[in-house]
Structures are given as structure tokens and as C-alpha cells.
Homo-oligomer: A and B are copies of this chain.
Amino acid sequence: MSNPTIACGHGIGAASMSPPSALLSVGLIGTGSIGADHARRLARTVAGARVHSVFDVDSARAAAVGAEVGAEVRRSAGDVIEDPAVDAVLVASADESHAEMVLASIGARKPVLCEKPLAPTVTESLEIVAAEQAAGRMLVQVGFMRRYDEGFCSLKAAVRDGVIGQPVTSHCVHRNATSPPGFTSAMSFTSSVIHEVDTMRWLLDEEIVAVTVVPTRTSPLAPEGLRDPQIVLLETESGIVVDTEVFVNCQYGYDVRAELVGSLGAISLDQPSSSTVALEGARRRAVVWDWRDRFASAYRSEVQQWVAAVRAHATEGAERPVATGAATAWDGYAATAVAESAAVALETGARQAVVLEARPPLYT
């Protein structure tokens, strides 16, 4: 693993930073739900950047977001990426287009923050890894935002500091209220569990070497044909088994939990809540409905630190335009490899080994 440092960035940072110079001009590809959020974040809550130009396959959507954040609207992704006035690229388009956008950004030698997944397939992911190597330097950061969540960072710190001793197992839960139309059993891995995969690789600083899928009883409220919930067992190099429940139609809200168990103790993520209401025979703490609310602060920190890293690279000669501790293209590849193996494991019903390429020196 390359980045053991924890850099939640919820404080104001201890690291010194040079005086701000010109704002970073970001080109945004994709102005849907998360893309529009990122645009607003860059414009309103992140220091040191502006949205320079945007593109979306839905031009009306692009126009609306462009107007909102004062960015120009382009006719193609290429027009954004290749524009010399664009310093860096944020990719928030459909998953299927990620690889193309990231490769174009690398081709233009521009830093790029790509929403997860890096790419839906191992093949594409490896193309990106190869392109970065060919470019001779890291340009890609993958948007695994949990690495910037205070709760997950406190788990990371506990592992690093040996608070719980040596990790031996872990339990995760990943629930969504309802799944969007067209969601498949395999998408539970590529879209949801891929977060747990990245989280565990990062927390434990080990690769996942095998995956098993155990379908449990399907909820009567799951759409026809969808296996939901499912239990996924991830095994790491050192033999740690992580059991994860993924349930994308749990009905009651968006609920993400994790517990790391070690030889001396255990640490579990607290459920964020800001108040408790006593009413009608119960104490109630709200469960958020949407992942964007759950991770709003993490997303802001992620984008903020990416902007800071890109600027530090441009103006201060920092080694690479990727935030410390962030997911790299290698991390994006490894996560996709595990998710793809999970899809195979679901088909076969058997434990599926995850075979990774040798890690290139760029990522060590």
C-alpha cells in the first residue's frame, strides 16, 4: 500500500502551505447528481479553485450547472480536457466513460480526480495504470471519499496507532433505502461493495486476495431478479476475513457501518447524528436517506485536498498532484478487480481468488 498517512482534513491542517496564487481552473466532465454537487463545492466551499468549464452529454443539464457556478459550457469532453486554460479535470460522468476521460486527461498531462469506480472493468483500469506509467508520473486520484470521512479516519488512526492490537477480522454493513431502476446483483459489488473494498485495503494496508458471495434470503421488496441482501466475504493477504452485508433495498435509509476487530480490542464507526428527539414513546436519532448527505463533509474535504495537492504540485514542486492518502489509479484498479471477482463468485457460488498484476514501482 502506498499511502498509510491519514489526511481527513476536517481540521485546518498542520502542514505548511505556500501563499495562494491563482485559482486552479477545473474542467468538469459530467454534471449529473454528483457532478453538480462537485461543481457547487468547487465554487462555494473549497478554497483555491474555480470551475472553468463543464461538459455533459445532456447539454441542458450542463448549461444549468455552468450558469450556476459561472463556468463555460463545452460541446465535448475533449474540448474541456484539452483546453489550455483548464488546469485539472474532474470526471463525474457515467461509469462507462470514466476510462476514456481519464486516459484523455493523462494524455493531456493533466491531474484528474475521477469519481469511483476508476473504471467498471479490470481491462480499462489496467489501461489507465499503464498510461500513467507511460506518462512517468501519477496524475490520477480516485474519488473514494470515505478516506476523508472523520469516522473512517478514526478507524485508520486506531489501526496505525495499534490501539486495537493486530487486526483479525472486520464486519461491514452497507445499506441503501432503495435501488435505482436497472440495478443488478453484480452492481451491488461494483457500485456499493467497492467502497468496502477500498476502505478495507486502506485501513488494513493489504490487498484483498479472495472473495466469496453468500446470497441470503431475498427481501420481498427487492425488485424481481435482484439478489438482495447479499453477504460478501473478503479475504486479505494476511488472512483477515471481512464480512460485508450489502442491502440496497433496506427501506429505512442509508446506513454504513464498520467494525474492526483486533487482538486487544475493537473499534466501530459511530452513526453520525447531531441530536436525539424524545417523542411518542421513543428516543429517535435520524438516519440519513442519501449517501450524499452522509458523506457531504468527506466529499468537501476530498475535493479540497485534491485542489490543494494539485496546486502544491504546480507551484511548489510537490512530487505529485494527488492528495496524500488518497486512492490512486492502482487503488482504483485493485478495487475494480475485487468487485469483478465478486461478480464471478456470485455466478460460481465458490470462493474466487483475486489475481492482481504486479504493482509497478510508481505505486510503491
Contact = CB atoms under 8 A, between A and B. Distances in A.
A281 B287 contact: yes
A181 interface: no
Please indicate which of the listed interface residues A249, A251, A283 has the most CB atoms of chain B within 10 Å of its own CB: A283
A216 B166 CA distance: 13
A165 B229 CA distance: 14
Interface stretch (A96-104, A185-193, A240-248): A240-248
Interface in A203-223: 212, 214-221
Given A17-B68, A45-B12, A297-B297, A265 B239 contact: no
A116 to B, nearest CB: 19
A364 interface: no
Interface string A242-263: 0101010111110100000101
A41 interface: yes
Contacts of A247: 168-169, 261
Copy total for this chain: 4
Given A41-B12, A44-B308, A282-B286, A164 B217 contact: no
Contacts of A261: 229, 245, 247, 250
Interface of A: 9-13, 16-20, 23, 37, 40-50, 68-71, 149-151, 153-155, 158, 163-169, 171, 173, 212, 214-221, 229, 231, 233, 236, 238-241, 243, 245, 247, 249-253, 255, 261, 263-287, 289, 293, 296-297, 300, 304, 308
Given A166-B219, A169-B245, A212-B214, 17 more contacts: A13-B44, A13-B45, A44-B48, A45-B46, A45-B47, A154-B275, A155-B275, A163-B277, A217-B240, A219-B263, A231-B241, A251-B280, A252-B265, A252-B282, A253-B282, A273-B283, A284-B284
